[in-house]
Chain A
Amino acid sequence: MKPDLSTTYLGLGLPHPIVPSASPMTGDLDHLLALEEAGAPAVVLPSLFEEQIEHEAMAIHFGMDFGAESFAEAPGGYLPEMDEYNAGPNDYLGLIHAAKRELDIPVIASLNGTTRGGWTLYAKTLEEVGVDALELNVYFVATDPDMTSEDVERQYLELVSEVRRAVALPLAVKVGPFFSSMANMAKRLVSAGADGLVLFNRFYQPDFDLDTLEVSPNLKLSTPDELRLVLRWMAILDGRIDADLAATTGVHTAEEAIKLILAGADVTMMASALLRNGPDHLRTVVDGLQSWLWTNEYRSVAQARGSLSQLNVPDPGAFERANYMKSLVSYSSDWLTDHPTS
């Protein structure tokens, strides 16, 4: 008998745990249909960015008014007033409408706000258009030396609880790993109202262009090497917090997905590998998962889930700091081998 791959995430019963996460691929209806065709159990749409919406609206506003009412021959400005600008979240809402209309699988929206009012306003808007669940993509770079980690954490928690109060949707919170106490933070996020945690979001990071000496932020596709950080925290959090856990970052093949499930993930999410290989890659990963479970005589994903979490391994310390030291010692370098010291 084939292993049962089904899982539950944010109250949604899914036939298997390999979910396409937010990426440019999920921002286009044709690709969404292709993903569904490839067997995606649900999709997470790209984030609705409040900052971008505001930026675009203000750009339209200032652009339309630029040069207007300044010169007698052109008091009406220099660009034609359009019937519609699709400013605000209209594009995004249109995508949701289309996705809900065309897809049979659950549609999870993602939101990145910048203001308190923005988070709740857009969360409500997304709830109204009928998404199945909401992922809050929270990212805040605290650059002010006077801002404490406590301040930062409070901001996260307040916005989660405000959105929680505003909507009844299943709510996942996607955060980064950069908290002094990730486990505590995870627990408090759940207390604030998160039904699930998504580990972890990846951001644009600055890079330098050595020709122009300019900072050029960009986002590189992930590699399987990035799995480790998620794997660790998945294993640590599994069984310790009362929320669904989604793993994203570094899932490229069935191998990473299996590891994350063993660490405790309810779903594993993919973006980079799909962008590289196309929607059909999803089927390969699912097949690989199934095959591994079958070969290793697992009945189901549920059986395997968390079996290698910190609570369930004989050496819990393997996930803690000592592990770091050991890995250094065990690191083997060709260069060191070729250049022995006396």
Chain B
Amino acid sequence: MADFGMVDGNEAAARIAHALSEVIAIYPITPASPMGELADSWSQLGKANLWGVVPDVVEMQSEAGAAGAVHGSLQVGALTTTFTASQGLLLMLPNMFKIAGELTPAVIHVAARSVATHALSIFGDHSDVMAARQTGFAMLASTSVQEAQDLALVAHSSTLRSRVPFLHFFDGFRTSHEVGKIELVDHDLMRAIIDEDLIAEHRLRALSPMHPVVRGTAQNPDVFFQAREAANLYHEAVPSIVKAEMDRFGDLTGRRYELYEYVGDPNAERIVVLMGSGAGAARECIAEMTSRGEAVGALIVRLFRPFAVEQFVEAIPATVRSVAVLDRTKEPGAPGEPLYQDVVTALAEKGRPLPVIGGRYGLSSKEFTPPMVRRVLMELDNPEPKNHFTVGITDDVTHTSLDVDPEWHEPADVVRAVFYGLGSDGTVGANKSSVKIIGEHTENYAQGYFVYDSKKSGSRTISHLRFGPRPIDSTYLIGEATFVACHQWTFLDQIDVLELAAPGATFLLNSPFGADEVWNHLPGAIQRSILEKNLDLWVVDAHSIARDVGLGGRVNTVLQTGFFKLSGILPVDDAVSAMKSQIEKTYGKRGEVVVRRNVAAIERALEALQRVQIPASATNELAPITVVPPEAPDFVQRVTAMMIAGRGDLLPVSALPVDGTFPTGTTKWEKRSIAHEIPIWDPEICIDCARCALVCPHAAIRMKVFDKNHLPDGLPSKGATGREWDGMLLTIQVAPDDCTGCGVCVDICPAKSKEVVKHKAINMEPKLDHLEVERQRFERFETIPDPDRRTVKLDTVKGSQLITPLFEFSGACAGCGETPYVKLLSQMVGDRMVVANATGCSSIYGGNLPTTPWTVDAEGRGPAWANSLFEDNAEFGLGMRLAFDAMEQDARLLVTALAPELGQLAVDILDAVQDDEAGVIAQRERVAEMRTALATMDGVLARRLEGVANSLIRSSVWIIGGDGWAYDIGFGGLDHVFASGRNVNILVLDTEVYSNTGGQASKATPRAAVAKFAAGGKPTGKKDLGQIAMSYGNVYVAQVAMGANMTQVVRAFAEAEAHEGVSLIIAYSPCIAHGIEMATQMTHQKEATDSGYWPLFRYDPAREADGEPGLKLDSRKPTIPFKEFAAKEARFAMLARANPSHASELMSRAQQDIDDRWHLYEQMVTIHRTAEYADVEE
């Protein structure tokens, strides 16, 4: 009896890799991270490999580092693997050439993902693996979750036999994250497949002082070439080895694989060739078309490298008259994409002169469906079929695309269920549980695939679940659902939740209204869909039940119960008992009460589910859904709005920029309105401290002062305090639709009512009670002009907050600890700032479409922003500085040359001092005046000066990124930039983990904290990045924590900006990965500083020049023990629960770290370095 399991593609591959490896070097990257995380957690739990040894899983500083460690481990003879994707694979390439060149058996498992080009994308295509096809690695493609496991084993066995290393890949997300029912491979089977003798041979070839050899010589023109050809036989042997391993696997399991699998009519005339998950859609299409008698087929490529020309051509039926090759990648400038070229070459070489067309599909996980395959096959029927086509998009520019008729019906015996939920309501988790229950408790095959939106706060999820009697090949989203569940009532007004409902489908709605009253509350469009599609509507008040049983907003269990009761996939009693045991299994170790409350939710749900009698007609009007207001710019109306509405797939090629350049300031048009409560200002109590505005992570609280004669109607205000604002009014306003309701502002507000202490100057109140009024007020508030920057003390908390932020309404997590710093920066220097942003959270909330938060001031100036990569951000930013400086030099020469014409203006421009706002503004005006003058001047010099004139205005380069970049992957470059002495500012948003990929440990993670890859508590201390930077002597360094000392933060930013050299600010940034209540993040920051865990300091080389010690401590000697701070954060407290004695040991060492560091700093503040660190003029 086969042992079935419910796993996703990552787990399927990782369980083989873990069982067959001794060393695993990892680095997180989406969508491959879960493979590393699983391997790490298995090893943490002591799970042994096939030989009884627990694999050593080591997190490296980058994929380049992981590949180096893999290479070294292989050289000494260990069975070694790694997991990666996208840019990560690219960073491994140099080592891959070496590993293959040295004929070293190894497997790299890749969840294939787009390589960043005009934009980053975390989603799946083959552009990464295609970049590896020159390395000499064999490349084996899996098409499904089952194959991700099976071919992983084939890869491991084949590499040992062939000595050629393997890149085993499957499609990112579509396969890596699809949960499916597969037959599991056990250790016995692995033992039967893996040949121990081959392992022994691998060991014998390894480096050993007992039989020393030299590997990695430098060769010269005399022999390199021949030596390169010497390995040919090994590569040539790979196809037959892989086939033999597949056959052996097939004999033992009954699951037979081919290097090139043909499906379809044996006498087909037209075929498609493709690899990866698209094969699923192709299989379904071919089955349907052949059932109608069409002579079509598909050839599925598994072994892509070496491309076995003979076997490939042999797999094509003799009847075939034309071939379409589908590539999930794009290679601009090539005569065709790689697979296409291989097919053309193979056919030519083998004398099969078939017409071949090639096309692209599915880039960045673009949907690929059976109708698209059908359309491609239809194209082959054309007398002149389109070559180099695209399918799945509309290309109205170069007209490559094929128009697809989307009509498609999935088999009637497959249950197809779609669930709309919020990330925070547990919908996806519940659906994963349902898939597991059905997969494990019935004969049915099951598939779960989950779609998330691009936001980190208030994100929506759509779950696609299929259940059926056969293995499910449908590698695309559900188009017609037999069951639709809407887990949030508010979605009814926002998205068309019934778009996918099939006629007669069941519709389960989480409704605050009972069956007898719900109808009249439904939007007109929903009513019409229910009537037109004859839907069976059921309601349950899941929020009330979840709240009553003590599960807060987690409506998942209630609605999961509803699904099982209504779908009838298994008898309700069986389903309920399976749910209960699943709950016990999943939540049991978290505590009996968790289980009890979820079980109570099931029982309450069973009673509360109500069927709605559908009236004969709709009672509500159709209300048009306005995505963006009519005043939004044209691009936002045409393009951004479509993406916001979830209809970005419909945008044609012409709608998109050709080079990845987008307008800034678009978040303001995406009114997500996700907060349930928003802060409301009470001017009577306010003390003008500006803290609420400063700490707001979403720039949703604004503060302005204005002349009392210009009070906009209906805006509350108070007299502004401070001499410079004498006679002025002050107002504080919330952007009600942009607030996430995080509550950080209220938590920080120090002003309490004298009568009722819970009433502060700013209070969270139900949004719906205030929405209309606050919307109007915010509109009026926005009409108040900013004060003249020259009159504002920008280096003070209050002064900085009077300037409109140029970073607003990002999609960061509610209560994010990073964004307040970024926003503050935009207020202080946003009008002259260029940002180099490392990949990570800040590049995602800063640059993830549909809308982006960097914006412009009233004059249209604002931060210009770009993201290069994860590993190179410091260098990227330095390059920007070099360019500004080079252009300025050019401009100064040109101004000097044109001085006779420009007169005094040239002198003023060249002598301008721009060390304050007035200086910058004056220079900006001079340059504008010069431009006017230049416009009237002839000659090449004037034209050249026009091109570089702006470089004469002080620009501020900010290099921004997280600790994963600064401490790990980008540290080498960062260190080099420290040493450069050039005028760049570096802001490290230190969350102490890789936040964006889900909380993996970095070298910024402190001792004793748990994180992924450090589940047993990080045994080593945090790197002191500030001290490394200080060691150069000419780098300005500040360590700041907004919640601990706001004034110090603002000053540090101002000083960093003023420092004519490298400056580094390390900013403590609480993150949801810390396991804290984010509303209280500022308090956590304060306690981090009070405990000495996060001391505040500024090191200013200018002080050294003045004969004083450069370092100044801005926080007091620790006043509370580390454990008092740590006990309130789950990242530390979790270990104390899980392993108290180990936690206690780590905690005492962590306290020692703090004591030592403080002691060191105390000494450093007394030291004045006398060496001259400033650049020496030559």
Interface set of A (CB-CB < 8 Å, partner B):
53-54, 56-88, 91, 121, 213-214
Contact = CB atoms under 8 A, between A and B. Distances in A.
A80 B122 contact: no
A72 B44 contact: no
Contacts, number: 158
Contacts of B456: 67, 70-71
A65 B426 contact: yes
Contact of B1138 (A54, A70, A82, A88): A82
B1071 A56 contact: no
B691 interface: no
B1138 A83 contact: yes
B54 interface: no
A73 B999 CA distance: 10
B282 to A, nearest CB: 25
B554 interface: yes
| Most chain B beta-carbon contacts within 10 A, residue among A64, A69, A72 | A69
Nearest to B123: A72
A80 B41 contact: yes
B997 A54 contact: no
B429 A65 contact: yes
Contacts of B173: 72
B589 interface: yes
Given A84-B1139, A85-B1134, A85-B1137, 13 more contacts: A67-B423, A70-B422, A71-B423, A72-B31, A75-B452, A78-B998, A78-B999, A79-B1011, A80-B1015, A82-B1137, A83-B1015, A86-B1140, A88-B592
Interface in B10-39: 30-31, 33-34, 37
Contacts of B1013: 80
B1010 A60 contact: no
27 contacts: A54-B593, A56-B591, A57-B593, A59-B1130, A60-B590, A60-B1137, A65-B554, A67-B456, A69-B452, A70-B452, A70-B459, A70-B461, A73-B31, A75-B428, A75-B450, A76-B998, A77-B998, A78-B993, A78-B999, A78-B1072, A79-B999, A79-B1073, A83-B45, A85-B1138, A86-B1137, A88-B593, A91-B1137
Contacts of B33: 73
A88 B584 CA distance: 14
B593 A73 contact: no
A133 B1121 CA distance: 37
B429 A69 contact: yes
A207 to B, nearest CB: 14
A311 B411 CA distance: 89
Contacts of A78: 993, 995, 998-999, 1071-1073, 1075
Interface of B: 30-31, 33-34, 37, 41, 44-45, 122, 173, 177, 422-424, 426-429, 432, 450, 452, 454-456, 459, 461, 550, 552, 554, 587, 589-594, 597, 752, 757, 813, 844, 993, 995-999, 1010-1015, 1071-1073, 1075, 1130-1131, 1134-1135, 1137-1140
A54 B591 CA distance: 8
A68 to B, nearest CB: 7
A58 B591 contact: yes
A74 B999 contact: yes
B427 A58 contact: no
A50 to B, nearest CB: 9
Given A53-B591, A58-B591, A73-B30, A79 B997 contact: no
A84 B1135 CA distance: 9
A80 B1135 CA distance: 10
Contacts of A77: 998-999
B429 A82 contact: no
B1019 to A, nearest CB: 14
A78 B602 CA distance: 27
B1011 A80 contact: yes
Contacts of B34: 76
Contacts of B993: 78
Contacts of B1138: 82-86
A324 B222 CA distance: 113
Contact of B589 (A76, A80, A84): A84
A67 B1072 contact: yes
Contact of A79 (B30, B45, B455, B1131): B1131
A85 B1135 CA distance: 8
Nearest to A80: B1015
Nearest to B424: A70
A29 B1012 CA distance: 33
A68 B432 CA distance: 13
> Which 7 residue pairs are nearest across A and B when measured between Cβ atoms?
A57-B591, A70-B423, A74-B998, A87-B591, A69-B428, A78-B1073, A78-B999
B459 to A, nearest CB: 5
Contact of B552 (A60, A62, A81): A62
A65 B429 CA distance: 9
Given A54-B591, A64-B590, A85-B590, A79 B1130 contact: yes
A60 B424 CA distance: 15
A85 B461 contact: no
B307 to A, nearest CB: 33
Contact of A69 (B122, B426, B996): B426
Nearest to A69: B428
| Most chain B beta-carbon contacts within 10 A, residue among A72, A83, A91, A121 | A72
A5 B1138 CA distance: 44
Contacts of B1075: 63, 66, 78-79
Contacts of B999: 74, 77-80
A213 B593 contact: no
A66 B1072 contact: yes
Contacts of A214: 757
B734 to A, nearest CB: 24
A87 B844 CA distance: 35
B122 A87 contact: no
